[in-house]
Amino acid sequence: MLSQPHLDKRFSERAGYFPISGEHLYTVLHEVEDPVGRVLLVGPFASERHKSYIPWVRWARYLADRQIEVLRYDYRGIGESTGVFEQMTFDDWMEDVRELSNWLRKRSPDVPLVLHGLELGALLAGRTFNDGVGDALLLWSPPLNANQALRRTLLRWVGLEQIFQCPDERKPASQHIRQLEMGDNLDVEGYCWSPDLWRSSFAIEMPESIVDGDIATAVYKRPVEIVTLGREASPLVKGGSVGYDEAKDFTWLFDANFGWIASALAVYGGH
Amino acid sequence: MEEQLETRELVVLEGSGVFLRGTLHKASRQDAESKTGLTERDRVGIVFLNSLSIPRASTGDSAVYWADAFAACGYPSFRFDLPGLGDTPGILATNLLDFINGGGYAAITSAKMKELVERFDLSGVVIVGHCAGVVTAVHAATSCKECKGLILMDPYFHLTKALRPKIRQILSEWARRSRIGGAISDIYDRMRDIRRTVQKGPLPKNANFPLLAHWKRVASTGLPILMFKAPGLKSPGMKPRLGEFDYLEYTLALAGHKGRVEVEFIEGTDHSFADRVGRVAVRQRATIWLSEFFPPLGLQKAAQEVPSLEDRAGDGKTEGSQLYAPPLRFEKGTETTTWM
């Protein structure tokens, strides 16, 4: 049964709006006293945000309970952030990561900062890390490039759409892709994908050095971990059953990844 | 970090130690307001509930779009995450769908509506529920005198099962993908229809009886209700799939002669109403409906006269009729609305 805890004084969650280039990012800071580390959570893209939200928030709370301050946010034009989705670009979303990283870093520069991304967020976090931001990098199911992430979302959406369509009405994914390539917008789960978004997604690639954790750690001389999540991690990743998986126990995943974060922070004298 | 913008504000309802996080879309302050001297206190607020486990922005951020639109029309609009969902803390039920279908969120919703009305000096609220959110909205409305109306999107009145036996999933998939499978599925539907015709009358075994009882309590007493229906699998119009029980017809009958239920079928959208066709249609029709029952300014008195549930359950002085508004037809990709 559902129970509602009273406000836990050990940690507080501060929601706010972060001004950026004429828009506002919705942010939630899981604030802790004397943090041993900070983590910026860079979440999955657009419609994937909604599906993974509950375990993503629980992960933030899990870390905050362990003296790690967490900042999570919505991309510009998505969720609670302001802006028009179809006008946004990958450059805008990269800027979001950079600006929030800087803000989080400035709270106390001596506390190490970990960038942690999921799916498309992993790509953005990886590219930001490649630019020299962050002391450690944790990636969950990173795609090779942004187009791969978009394509996965598109395929799943097409599959869902087909459930409610007669055989004559069904369009294969290739037809939708052609629509984008021909310069038309495509409405995917309420988000208007523009041809520019699709075209530009091919160029947003994971830096070559970040394909393997050990190699990346050696190259950047900063800890890097890459984890591929399977279906058992739904709804953090695609799959599973809506209405049943939300309350799933993720201790196995959280414990293991917290262990890695703790060891990464130890490099910098934390934990 | 700022907690409010010109048009939005992050709000927390924390009465009785129960936290609820949400977003307020501030009502636009038009000239009429200063002329009439009316303030927020005279307004009806619009409250969006979660649709199953989706955060308060809803699919494709459609709830943000609608809340912006209603606020622009003068209705302060709120989107909340219920306990355990979105940004609101709380422990989720292991079986969330069954929990919601059993009205598990009704008590907290009802209590929080009272708190919201008091805190923002509202004259009442219109609760918006989508899919599983409908169940919560209907349950809550029966015990919430602050609830002055309901907007229900693609409601269901049976007990759904998210987990179906593997063999059924495979068969359904085959029926969807192959022409032979489709033909067999059609025959199956006809057989079910014949059986239903022969058995005529009783509700299906998987009907959500408590929900239907709550619906009757709410709808039959004249609470204004606007219902949106999207095309379903093999049910392109208002009628259900062949062989399935017609819950829409049944619930409208339950509303009785005092019921003020309007039903809108939106063609060309899907269950989420989050695509362009759906979101524009919902916005347009709901705005008309709101202005009819809850005029934004100056005429608010009429809205305040919508009786509370206790009053409505009384001698039935409020006259009403079962309304069937003409369905809207939307041309895909445009905002053109034509009345059929």
Band (B240; pLDDT cuts 50, 70, 90): confident
Range in A132-146, A149-163, A209-223, B204-218 the model is least confident about: A149-163
Q: Encode burial over B254-265: b for 16+ CB neighbours within 10 A, e otherwise.
A: bbbebbbbbbbb
Q: How confident is the model at residue A164 (pLDDT cuts 50, 70, 90)?
A: low
Q: Sign of the C-alpha dihedral, residues B261, B266, B270, B276? A: negative
- Read off the amino acid at residue A142: P
Name residue A68's beta-bridge partners: A37
Mean residue pLDDT across chain A: 91
Instruction: Supply φ then ψ for residue B210, to 5 degrees.
Output: -60, -40
Say if residue A210's pLDDT is above 70.
yes
Radius of gyration of chain A (CA): 19
Residue that wins the pLDDT comparison between A165 and B251: B251
Contact call for residues A7 and A31 (beta carbons, < 8 A): no
- Which among A8, A16, A164 has CB closest to B232? A164
pLDDT digits (tens, 9 = 90+) for B77-87: 999 999 999 99
Picking from A268, A100, A230, A48, the residue whose alpha carbon sits closest to that of residue B1 is A100
Write down the residue that tokens 């606020």 correspond to.
B71
Q: For residue A73, what are the β-bridge partners? A: A27
Percentage of chain B modeled with pLDDT above 90: 59
Cα gap B319→A209, rounded to integer Å:
72
Lowest pLDDT segment from A148-162, B37-51, B164-178, B261-275: B164-178
**Residue B274: closest CA among A45, A173, A47:** A47
**C-beta atoms of A2 and B90 within 8 A:** yes
Q: Give the count of beta carbons closer than 10 Å to the beta carbon of residue A74.
A: 23
The band of A242, judged by pLDDT with boundaries at 50, 70 and 90, is: low
Lowest-pLDDT range, A129-143, A160-174, A251-265, B130-144? A160-174
**CA B326, CA A90: separation in Å to the nearest integer?**
43
The pLDDT value recorded for residue A268 is: 83
- The string of pLDDT tens digits covering residues A18-51 is 999 999 999 999 999 999 999 999 999 999 999 9
Q: pTM (2 decimals)?
A: 0.86
Amino acid at B14: E
Name the more confident of A96 and A270. A96
Matching residue, tokens 């219902």: B227
pLDDT at A199 over 90: yes
Cβ B57–A82 below 8 Å, yes or no? no
pLDDT tens-digit readout, A42-72: 999 999 999 999 999 999 999 999 999 999 9
Residue B235 in 3-state DSSP? strand
Q: Give the distance from residue B318's alpha carbon to the nearest chain A alpha carbon, in angstroms.
A: 38
Q: Give residue limits of the domains in chain A.
A: 12-145+207-267, 147-203
Least confident of B153-162, B198-207, B268-277: B198-207
Residue type, A114: V
Tell me the three state secondary structure of residue B121.
Answer: coil
Residue B170: which pLDDT band, with cuts at 50, 70 and 90? low
pLDDT-above-70 percentage for chain B = 71
Q: Among A118-127, A202-211, B319-328, which is the least confidently predicted range?
A: B319-328
pLDDT of amino acid A246:
79
Q: How far is A223 from chain B (nearest CA, A)?
A: 30
Given a contact cutoff of 8 angstroms between Cβ atoms, the answer to whether A136 and A224 are in contact is yes
Cα–Cα distance list, B55 to A243, B42, B47, B70, B337 (Å): 13, 29, 14, 19, 30
The Cα–Cα gap between A109 and B159 comes to 53
User: CA–CA separation, B173 vs B192, rounded Å?
Assistant: 19
Tell me the residue type at A79: G
CA–CA dist A25, A19 (Å, integer): 6
Q: Does A164 contact B179 at a Cβ distance shorter than 8 Å?
A: no
- Spatial neighbors of B212 by CB under 8 A, at least 6 apart, are B157, B203, B250, B251, B254
User: How would residue A9 be classed by pLDDT, with cut points 50, 70 and 90?
Assistant: very low
For A43, phi then psi, to 5°, come to -80, 180
- Exposed/middle/buried for residue B266 (C-beta within 10 Å: 0-12, 13-18, 19+): buried
A7–B231: do the CB atoms touch at under 8 Å? no
Chain-chain contact of A2 with B104 (C-beta, under 8 angstroms): yes
Is the pLDDT higher at A163 or at B12?
B12
Pick from A11, A48, A80 the residue to mutate for testing the B interface (most B CBs within 10 Å): A80
| Among B11-15, B176-180, B181-185, B322-326, the least confident range | B322-326
Reply yes or no on whether the pLDDT at B310 is more than 80. Answer: no
Contact A87, A13 (CB under 8 A): no
Tokens of residue A189, six digits? 């789960």
Tell me the per-residue pLDDT of B82-138, one tens digit each, with 9 for 90 and over: 999 999 999 999 889 999 999 999 999 999 999 999 999 999 999 999 999 999 999
Confidence label for B154 from pLDDT (cuts 50, 70 and 90): very high
What pLDDT is stored for residue A63 in this prediction? 97
Do residue A242 and residue B4 have CB atoms under 8 angstroms apart?
no
Q: What is the pLDDT of residue B17?
A: 84
| Window 129-168 of A, Cβ < 8 Å to B | 161-164, 166-167
Quick check: helix, strand or coil at residue B214?
helix
Q: For helices B276-293 and B62-72, give the axis angle rounded to 10 degrees.
A: 30
> What residue type is A249 in one-letter code?
D
- CB-based contact B91 A5, cutoff 8 Å: yes
At residue B322, the pLDDT reads: 33
Alpha-carbon span A107 to B328, nearest angstrom: 53
Chain A residue numbers touching B271 (CB-CB < 8 A): 164
Neighbours of B79 (CB within 10 A): 27
- Dihedral through CA A233, CA A237, CA A241, CA A245, nearest 10? 50
Beta-bridge partners for B153: B130, B228
- Give the separation between CA A15 and CA A79, rounded to whole angstroms: 13
Query: Interior CA angle at B284 toward A154 and B11, to 5°?
Result: 75
Reduced to 3 states, what is the DSSP secondary structure of residue A38? strand
Task: Determine what percent of chain A is predicted with pLDDT higher than 70.
Answer: 92
B224 forms beta bridges with B260
Structure tokens at A259: 């262990």
* Closest CA relative to residue B281, chosen from B204, B231, B335, B203: B335
Torsion region of A221: left, alpha or beta (phi above 0 gives left; psi -120 to 50 gives alpha): left
Task: Report strand pairing: A37-42 vs A113-118.
Answer: parallel
Cis peptide before B295 (omega within 30 of 0): no
Nearest CB partner across the interface for B55, out of A18, A53, A162 = A53
Burial tier of A109 (Cβ tally within 10 Å: 0-12, 13-18, 19+): exposed
Dihedral, CA atoms, B260, B265, B271, B274, nearest 10 degrees? -90
Q: Which of the following CATH numbers is that of domain A12-145+207-267: 3.40.50.300, 3.40.50.720, 3.40.50.1820, 2.40.30.10?
A: 3.40.50.1820
